[in-house]
Amino acid sequence: MNRTTLALIFLALVTHAPFSYADKQTVDCTLALQQLKKGSASIEEYKKSAEICPANASIRYNLALLQAEAGSKEESLASLEEAITRENRPQFHVARGRVLQDLKRLKEAREEYRNALSLNPDSDEARQGLYSLGEETIPSSKESAAERADSNSEASYAGALLLFKEGKFEASISELEKVLLDEPKHPQAFLTLGDAYRKLGNFSESEKALLRAREVDPENGHVDALLAEVQQKQKKLIDAEASYKSSLNKERDTVVLQNLGLIQLELKKYADAEVTLIEASKLDKGKASILNALGWAQLNQEKLYDAETSFRNALTLDPQNALAQNNLGIAYFKRGKEKEAKSAFEKALYLDSSLLDAKKNLEQVNKNLSNKQK
């Protein structure tokens, strides 16, 4: 028997040999992992993959993150415990610490952060977790003085951010100012500082902080959008318009487009507002407030048919919108359709009896109709 024949027999034996249970499980697990990598998998898909791959810790860790995000905190803790029993990684303990912290089980959270540090003394996430619980952390022995200062700054920022998220804005401002003393070009600290002042209604200080944030991080469109909102609150409409435009140069966003359009309406730049709001309506076709604002821009340019169409479309999306109903009445009135205008003003007042504009408009149209009957 020659070598070629032996090789063919061997190939046939390998090809037709049945998989062992262990081999089949490995193949199934590989296929499951490939499926997860294709896109954003659901909790149920991760659970199924966890059953197929009983020894895989990473699947359970990712499942836990999804469960925590969905609000299933206890299930998340159980999945993380399963991950840790399979592979004792520091990030698993950090994740458990965060979930326990969300559940206000602070003693257990502190223990998990300490476990993470014992496994990896360089874990910034574990140190930040402990700092957020009010505990001074031990700097890594591997860190240089500069790295240690930077780490401390990030830990301080994490603590300030936690205060901000808890609604403790004044305390957050105090901590953020300390962070900025240590690191004067910390973009996120300036952004959070500006937002904290905004929440307290101190728009002047908010604007100062956000202008510094923009200097440090000029490519952050969110800073521009927040700055525009603060400038708008102070009636700095030209500045607000420029800031909204700057934000849109970095990222097209429906809310920013709508806010820019409203600023342009207030500035009586009706043609500009129409262009802006048309783009906003294309990005979000289900928002009645955008169509109502668009109709107002068209109405003020005497584009009465277009305005009527925009107001009608707004009311199709939101039949209870009293402002759009009143504005539709104005469009009818300007087109000489006084009976339709009267009906629209009456509907607006039915929807909102406190709408003074609709009341005045109804009085005017009734007076016109009465004069015609004389």
Q: List, for residues 181-236, the tens digit of each pLDDT value.
A: 888 888 889 999 999 999 999 999 999 999 999 999 898 888 999 999 999 999 99
Q: How far is CA 21 from CA 18, 26, 27, 93, in A?
A: 9, 9, 10, 33
Q: Rounded to an integer, what distance in angstroms lies between the CA atom of residue 374 and that of residue 364? A: 16
Cα 54–chain centre separation:
35
If you average pLDDT over residues 116-134, what whole number do you get? 79
How high is the mean pLDDT of the chain? 83
For residue 241, is it within any domain?
yes
Length of the chain: 374
For residue 309, is it within any domain?
no
The per-residue pLDDT for 306 is 96
**Inter-residue contact 277 to 261 (CB < 8 Å):** yes
Over 50: is that where the pLDDT of 329 sits?
Answer: yes
**Inter-residue contact 190 to 209 (CB < 8 Å):** yes
The per-residue pLDDT for 44 is 83
Angle (CA) 178-179-183 rounded to 5° is 120
Which of the residue ranges 16-20, 130-134, 162-166 would you say has the lowest mean pLDDT?
16-20
DSSP per-residue codes, 246-286: HHHHH---HHHHHHHHHHHHHTT-HHHHHHHHHHHHHH-TT
Q: Where residue 21 falls among pLDDT bands split at 50, 70, 90?
A: very low
Q: Rounded to an integer, what distance in angstroms lies between the CA atom of residue 157 and that of residue 172? A: 9
If you average pLDDT over residues 271-279, what whole number do you get? 95
The per-residue pLDDT for 152 is 62
Residue 28 backbone dihedrals phi, psi, to 5 degrees: -60, -40
Over 60: is that where the pLDDT of 119 sits?
Answer: yes
Q: How far is CA 166 from CA 132, 161, 179, 191, in A?
A: 12, 9, 18, 17
Over 50: is that where the pLDDT of 5 sits?
Answer: no
Angle (CA) 71-72-76 rounded to 5° is 120
Q: Rounded to an integer, what distance in angstroms lies between the CA atom of residue 275 and that of residue 245? A: 13
Tokens of residue 103, six digits: 């559940």
pTM of the full predicted structure? 0.58
Over 90: is that where the pLDDT of 124 sits?
Answer: no
DSSP label at residue 18: P
CB atoms within 10 A of CB 277: 27
How many domains is the chain partitioned into structurally?
1
Domain that holds residue 223: 143-251
Three-state SS at 164: helix
For residue 244, is it within any domain?
yes
For residue 230, is it within any domain?
yes
Instruction: Give the CA count within 13 Å in the CB-facing half-sphere of 152.
Output: 16
For residue 179, is it within any domain?
yes
The per-residue pLDDT for 85 is 85
Over 90: is that where the pLDDT of 260 sits?
Answer: yes
Over 90: is that where the pLDDT of 238 sits?
Answer: yes
Q: Rounded to an integer, what distance in angstroms lies between the CA atom of residue 342 and that of residue 347? A: 9
Tokens of residue 182, six digits: 């240590």
Q: What is the CATH number of the domain that holds 188?
A: 1.25.40.10
- Dihedral sign, CA of 125, 126, 130, 136? negative
If you average pLDDT over residues 258-284, what whole number do you get? 94
Three-state SS at 100: helix
Q: Where residue 8 falls among pLDDT bands split at 50, 70, 90?
A: very low
For residue 218, is it within any domain?
yes
Q: Which residues contact 213 (CB under 8 A, 6 or more apart)?
A: 187, 190, 191, 193, 194, 220, 223, 227
For residue 291, is it within any domain?
no
Over 70: is that where the pLDDT of 10 sits?
Answer: no
For residue 269, is it within any domain?
no
Q: Rounded to an integer, what distance in angstroms lies between the CA atom of residue 342 and that of residue 353? A: 15
Q: Where residue 16 falls among pLDDT bands split at 50, 70, 90?
A: very low
Which of the residue ranges 46-55, 157-166, 206-215 would you say has the lowest mean pLDDT?
46-55
If you average pLDDT over residues 272-277, what whole number do you get? 96
